[in-house]
């Protein structure tokens, strides 16, 4: 440590004025100057792979060190880089301040750099906001600190508190973390390098911004030489010294998960524990990080910069993967924000829980709900929901309403039940983000007007997956204490029943029903997995958030995509957004093949019904479909619907108009598709869906693109087309009773 004389500082302090002289003699409270708490933890994944070594006192990694344990070059580098008049000023640097004010007057903006080491220390201890009044208080405290502490004490305080990135607080921690050596053994080059870190934009990823950090090191070394701290020989040696970063820096895995876990530990746990084996599967985590990056890369043009993925093991609540953002170290896109814990509007993802309550209150999957223009709410605050496809579909069975995610039926059901019921159930399922009263959200709660987190959604879906049992998430498998004993990990509380197993099973059956969601997602949508899987997508207002959450019997996967600054995406829908990533994560978790079926609880029956009325079929009904009922809720009535003349007319009403006899149900007019090099080829194929209600039914239908016949197909009249960039007009053409019948034209765009 260099010796620093204090006479100049004291003289300047005296000159500040007698008025403040008395107050400056008040010592800075001891508690403010006490060493930082010590962290000492080794965090491992479920199989013992290292995630992060949190600074350990026993390894000397965050020990508070005095000046004998700090290499003199550390102090010299600090003074050269931050405050070269530190040995002489009295806490504020009048020269630097004058220069900054001058620059501000000439340039019209405040140039930083006028802060002395003492002022920076004050800021570090007190965390003032950056306002003018707090700058004055800061200056006063800096003067006071200079009066009551020695220059050496100030330097020791400063060097033990500075954040060097990666949770390394203090010079000793930084020296051990970045260079595997104590601060006393740092070379001039290493001292300059560490001094550059706290302000360097690349400090969070020195292994990637090596050139930038090296330039900063070199600049500090040259300044040290100019101030006479380094001989020209020593400067030459230091400049040519390679930077050898320790491998600790690279062991910084699953950062959002680790931060989340650390934040949940009590201070006692942080101090007493030596090792925590977590629930995380690092191999899975790393694969999902890569998948997220790949999908976002392909969606950059859609103004989509971020995403988050959670994987929960249903039976235990164990978090197997938590990817909170695309890149933790990307400061430009707030990479340190954990997207799994951020508040977002959930779009349609709460609808399954709304319908589960409907089933609980006596509705069935066959109950007809009218999808028609309606107003809900009070006179003062009424609203008229619309569907994603901007059409109404008439009376629809609950199964279709949920699978196709129509808005009006979801609101109608919640209106019937009362929003209070959904609100209370959500709170029971750990949705603590919903902080307002139920009346604040109203029936819009089912359309996602309340902000929730991806983790809350994932837990709720995991409860559906396990037959209605809610479990809080688990992060820890086992823990060892510093004294060598195992720390007992408390047994998780018994799961809470939030839905009956029969209700949960019916909702699962609907969410896993490929056929029921064809109108919304097409025949080969990304949710159509090669094993039993339930899934629901959601898109918040103006495309700000895109969600897909779903589960197999074993795992729940929750995916969010969007921007942390809330900027809207450009037309990202189920086929391009979170859905394909959800699919790829599911394919990592489960083997293709028959897969595990969802275990069916007792008390359910399968009964044939009329698809139009949902009642028991009569001879006049056009078809019979099988529906799942809780025993005792099978409809009593036989269908009395008039099926003659206009077949299925009730379920085909389109925004009040009668239906066309030949029409395209997928794609919809205005749909935009994106060809995506990262995705599997099956997403690159558009599978057109037709609905033919003409009688007699034609044997074939022609698909036309831009007026050119492209395919002639028989029932069920679907058509596969490999996507090519461009704008197209598609229509259908059929011959019915010798007359040409054409569908409405549907315009689509295909982007690369
Ligand atoms: Zn019928």
Residue pair 479/273 in contact by the 8 Å Cβ criterion? yes
Which residues contact residue 516 at a Cβ distance below 8 angstroms, ignoring those fewer than 6 apart?
399, 400, 402, 403, 404, 510
Q: How far is the CA of 612 from the centre of ligand 1 (A)?
A: 5
More confidently predicted of 649 and 250: 250
Residue pair 174/194 in contact by the 8 Å Cβ criterion? yes
Per-residue pLDDT, 646: 42
Q: How far is CA 329 from the centre of its chain?
A: 15
User: Helix, strand, or coil here: 445?
Assistant: helix
Residue pair 474/318 in contact by the 8 Å Cβ criterion? yes
More confidently predicted of 536 and 206: 536
- For residues 145-161, give the mean pLDDT: 93
CA torsion 115-117-122-128 (nearest 10°) is 30
Q: How far is the CA of 416 from the centre of ligand 1 (A)?
A: 25
Q: How far is the CA of 738 from the centre of ligand 1 (A)?
A: 29
d(CA 381, CA 588): 46
DSSP string of 598-619, one letter each residue: PPPPSSEEEEEE-TTTSSB--T
More confidently predicted of 550 and 200: 550
Per-residue pLDDT, 653: 34
Q: How far is the CA of 621 from the centre of ligand 1 (A)?
A: 4
Q: How far is the CA of 625 from the centre of ligand 1 (A)?
A: 10
Q: How far is the CA of 636 from the centre of ligand 1 (A)?
A: 13
d(CA 563, CA 168): 29
Residue pair 62/173 in contact by the 8 Å Cβ criterion? yes
Residue pair 619/607 in contact by the 8 Å Cβ criterion? no
Q: How far is the CA of 620 from the centre of ligand 1 (A)?
A: 7
Q: How far is the CA of 638 from the centre of ligand 1 (A)?
A: 8
* 293 pLDDT more than 90: yes
Per-residue pLDDT, 434: 96
pLDDT tens digits, one per residue of 19-31:
556 777 777 777 7
- pLDDT band for 366, please (50, 70, 90 cuts): very high
Q: How far is the CA of 388 from the centre of ligand 1 (A)?
A: 28
Q: How far is the CA of 368 from the centre of ligand 1 (A)?
A: 12
Q: How far is the CA of 695 from the centre of ligand 1 (A)?
A: 17
Which helix (H) or strand (E) element contains residue 1? none
Q: How far is the CA of 367 from the centre of ligand 1 (A)?
A: 13
Q: How far is the CA of 645 from the centre of ligand 1 (A)?
A: 13
* 655 pLDDT more than 70: no
Q: How far is the CA of 262 from the centre of ligand 1 (A)?
A: 59
- For residues 64-84, give the mean pLDDT: 93
Per-residue pLDDT, 738: 78
Q: Which residues of 564-582 are buried (b: 16+ CB within 10 A; e: fewer)?
A: beeebbebbbbbbbbbbbb
- For residues 540-567, give the mean pLDDT: 90
Top-confidence range, 4-8, 356-360, 370-374? 356-360
Per-residue pLDDT, 238: 95
In sequence order, the β-bridge partners of residue 605 are: 629
d(CA 74, CA 298): 45
User: Helix, strand, or coil here: 360?
Assistant: helix
Q: How far is the CA of 653 from the centre of ligand 1 (A)?
A: 16
Q: How far is the CA of 637 from the centre of ligand 1 (A)?
A: 11
Q: How far is the CA of 407 from the centre of ligand 1 (A)?
A: 25
d(CA 679, CA 291): 10
Nearest-CA neighbor of 572 among 311, 307, 336, 324? 307
- For residues 433-451, give the mean pLDDT: 93
User: Helix, strand, or coil here: 113?
Assistant: coil
Q: How far is the CA of 639 from the centre of ligand 1 (A)?
A: 5
Q: How far is the CA of 69 from the centre of ligand 1 (A)?
A: 87
pLDDT tens digits, one per residue of 686-743:
778 888 887 778 888 889 888 788 888 887 788 877 777 788 889 998 888 778 888 8
Q: How far is the CA of 717 from the centre of ligand 1 (A)?
A: 24
User: Helix, strand, or coil here: 221?
Assistant: helix
d(CA 623, CA 310): 41
* 112 pLDDT more than 60: no
Q: How far is the CA of 513 from the centre of ligand 1 (A)?
A: 22
pLDDT tens digits, one per residue of 252-291:
899 999 999 988 988 888 878 888 999 999 999 999 999 9
Least confident of 66-75, 222-231, 600-609, 655-664: 655-664
d(CA 115, CA 89): 12
Q: How far is the CA of 396 from the centre of ligand 1 (A)?
A: 13
Look up tokens 């990202």; give the residue: 572
* 659 pLDDT more than 80: no
More confidently predicted of 208 and 116: 116
DSSP annotation of 86 reads T
Percent of the chain residues topping a pLDDT of 90: 45
Q: How far is the CA of 648 from the centre of ligand 1 (A)?
A: 9
Q: How far is the CA of 716 from the centre of ligand 1 (A)?
A: 21
Q: How far is the CA of 616 from the centre of ligand 1 (A)?
A: 8
* 682 pLDDT more than 60: no
DSSP string of 311-357, one letter each residue: EEETTT-BEEEEE-SS-TT-GGGTTTS-TTTS-B--GGGGHHHHHHH
Q: How far is the CA of 614 from the centre of ligand 1 (A)?
A: 7
* 249 pLDDT more than 90: no
For 527, the token pair is 């949710």
Q: How far is the CA of 635 from the centre of ligand 1 (A)?
A: 13
Separation in Å, CA 23 to CA 76, 138, 262, 512, 623: 31, 14, 40, 72, 91
User: Helix, strand, or coil here: 635?
Assistant: coil
Residue pair 537/579 in contact by the 8 Å Cβ criterion? yes
Per-residue pLDDT, 485: 80
Q: How far is the CA of 602 from the centre of ligand 1 (A)?
A: 28
More confidently predicted of 549 and 667: 549
Per-residue pLDDT, 573: 60
Q: How far is the CA of 613 from the centre of ligand 1 (A)?
A: 5
Per-residue pLDDT, 652: 35
Q: How far is the CA of 514 from the centre of ligand 1 (A)?
A: 23
More confidently predicted of 563 and 434: 434
- For residues 443-454, give the mean pLDDT: 94
- pLDDT band for 412, please (50, 70, 90 cuts): very high
- For residues 359-363, give the mean pLDDT: 95
Separation in Å, CA 654 to CA 98, 394, 479, 573, 633: 73, 7, 60, 22, 30
DSSP annotation of 715 reads T
Per-residue pLDDT, 149: 92
- pLDDT band for 514, please (50, 70, 90 cuts): confident
d(CA 352, CA 535): 10
Q: How far is the CA of 440 from the centre of ligand 1 (A)?
A: 41
How are beta strands 726-736 and 701-705 bridged, if at all? antiparallel
Which helix (H) or strand (E) element contains residue 484? none
Q: How far is the CA of 744 from the centre of ligand 1 (A)?
A: 28
User: Helix, strand, or coil here: 714?
Assistant: coil
pTM over 0.85: no
Q: How far is the CA of 693 from the centre of ligand 1 (A)?
A: 16
Least confident of 228-242, 282-296, 324-338, 379-393: 379-393
Residue by residue, what is the 3-state secondary structure of 499-552?
CCHHHHHHHHHHHCCCHHHHHHHCCCCCCCCCCCCEEEEEECHHHCEEEEEEEC
Q: How far is the CA of 611 from the centre of ligand 1 (A)?
A: 7
Q: How far is the CA of 366 from the centre of ligand 1 (A)?
A: 12
Percent of the chain residues topping a pLDDT of 70: 86
Q: How far is the CA of 475 from the centre of ligand 1 (A)?
A: 51
Q: How far is the CA of 618 from the centre of ligand 1 (A)?
A: 6
Q: How far is the CA of 569 from the centre of ligand 1 (A)?
A: 43
Q: How far is the CA of 537 from the centre of ligand 1 (A)?
A: 31
d(CA 369, CA 220): 72
d(CA 745, CA 740): 15
């Amino acid at each position: 440590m260099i010796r620093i004389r204090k006479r100049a500082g004291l003289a300047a302090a005296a000159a500040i004025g007698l008025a403040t002289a008395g107050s400056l003699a008040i010592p800075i409270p001891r508690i403010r100057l006490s060493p930082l708490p010590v962290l000492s933890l080794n965090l491992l994944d479920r199989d013992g792979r290292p995630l992060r070594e949190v600074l350990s006192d026993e390894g000397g990694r965050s020990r508070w060190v005095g000046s004998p344990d700090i290499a003199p070059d550390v102090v010299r580098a600090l003074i050269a880089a931050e405050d070269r008049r530190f040995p002489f000023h009295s806490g504020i640097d009048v020269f630097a301040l004058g220069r900054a004010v001058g620059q501000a007057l000439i340039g019209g903006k405040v140039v930083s750099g006028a802060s002395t080491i003492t002022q920076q220390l004050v800021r570090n201890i007190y965390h003032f906001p950056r306002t003018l009044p707090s700058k004055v208080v800061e200056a006063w405290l800096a003067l006071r600190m200079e009066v009551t502490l020695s220059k050496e004490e100030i330097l020791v305080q400063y060097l033990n508190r500075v954040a060097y990135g990666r949770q390394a607080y203090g010079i000793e921690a930084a020296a051990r973390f970045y260079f595997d050596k104590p601060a006393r053994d740092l070379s001039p080059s290493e001292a300059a390098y560490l001094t550059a870190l706290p302000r360097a934009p690349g400090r969070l990823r020195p292994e990637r911004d090596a050139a930038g950090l090296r330039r900063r090191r070199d600049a500090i070394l040259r300044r040290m030489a100019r101030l006479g701290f380094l001989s020209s020989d020593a400067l030459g040696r230091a400049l040519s010294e390679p930077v050898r970063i320790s491998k600790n820096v690279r062991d910084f895995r699953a950062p959002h998960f680790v931060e989340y876990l650390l934040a949940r530990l009590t201070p006692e746990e942080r101090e007493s524990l030596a090792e925590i084996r977590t629930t995380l599967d690092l191999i899975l985590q790393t694969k999902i990080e890569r998948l997220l990056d790949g999908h976002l890369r392909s969606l950059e043009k859609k103004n989509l910069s971020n995403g988050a993925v959670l994987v929960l093991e249903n039976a235990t609540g164990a978090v197997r993967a938590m990817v909170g953002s695309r890149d933790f170290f990307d400061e430009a896109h707030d990479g340190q924000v954990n997207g799994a814990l951020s508040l977002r509007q959930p779009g349609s993802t709460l609808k399954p829980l709304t319908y589960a309550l409907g089933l609980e209150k006596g509705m069935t999957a066959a109950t007809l709900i009218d999808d028609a223009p309606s107003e809900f709410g009070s006179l003062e605050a009424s609203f008229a929901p619309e569907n994603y496809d901007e059409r109404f579909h008439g009376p629809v069975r609950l199964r279709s309403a949920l699978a196709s995610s129509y808005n009006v039926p979801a609101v109608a059901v919640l209106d019937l039940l009362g929003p209070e019921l959904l609100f209370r159930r959500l709170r029971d399922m750990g949705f603590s983000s919903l902080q307002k009263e139920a009346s604040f959200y109203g029936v819009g709660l089912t359309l996602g007007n309340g902000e929730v987190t991806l983790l809350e959604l994932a837990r709720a879906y995991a409860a559906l997956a396990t037959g209605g049992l809610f479990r809080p998430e688990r992060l820890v498998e086992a823990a060892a204490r510093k004294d060598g004993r195992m720390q007992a990990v408390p047994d998780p509380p018994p799961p809470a029943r939030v839905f009956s197993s029969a209700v949960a099973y019916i909702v699962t059956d609907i969410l896993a029903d490929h056929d029921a969601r064809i109108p919304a997602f097409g025949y080969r949508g990304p949710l159509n997995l090669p094993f039993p899987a339930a899934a629901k997508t959601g898109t918040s207002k103006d495309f700000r958030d895109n969600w897909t959450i779903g589960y197999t019997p074993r795992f729940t996967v929750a995916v969010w995509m969007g921007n942390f600054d809330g900027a809207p995406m450009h037309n990202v829908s189920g086929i391009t957004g979170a859905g394909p990533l959800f699919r790829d994560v599911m394919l990592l978790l489960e083997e293709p093949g028959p897969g595990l079926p969802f275990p069916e609880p007792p008390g359910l029956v399968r009964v044939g019904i009329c698809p139009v009325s949902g009642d028991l079929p009569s001879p006049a009904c056009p078809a019979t479909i099988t529906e799942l009922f809780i025993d005792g809720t099978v409809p009593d009535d036989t269908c009395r619907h008039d099926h003659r003349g206009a077949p299925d007319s009730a379920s085909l009403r389109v925004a009040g108009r009668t239906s066309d006899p030949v029409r395209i149900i997928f794609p919809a007019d205005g749909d935009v598709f994106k060809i995506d090099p990262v995705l599997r080829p099956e997403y690159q194929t558009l599978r057109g869906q037709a609905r033919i209600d003409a009688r007699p039914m034609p044997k074939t239908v022609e698909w036309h693109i831009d007026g050119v016949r492209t395919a002639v197909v028989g029932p069920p009249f679907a058509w596969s087309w490999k996507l090519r960039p461009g704008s197209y007009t598609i229509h259908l053409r059929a011959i019915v009773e010798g007359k040409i019948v054409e569908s409405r034209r549907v315009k689509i765009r295909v982007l690369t």
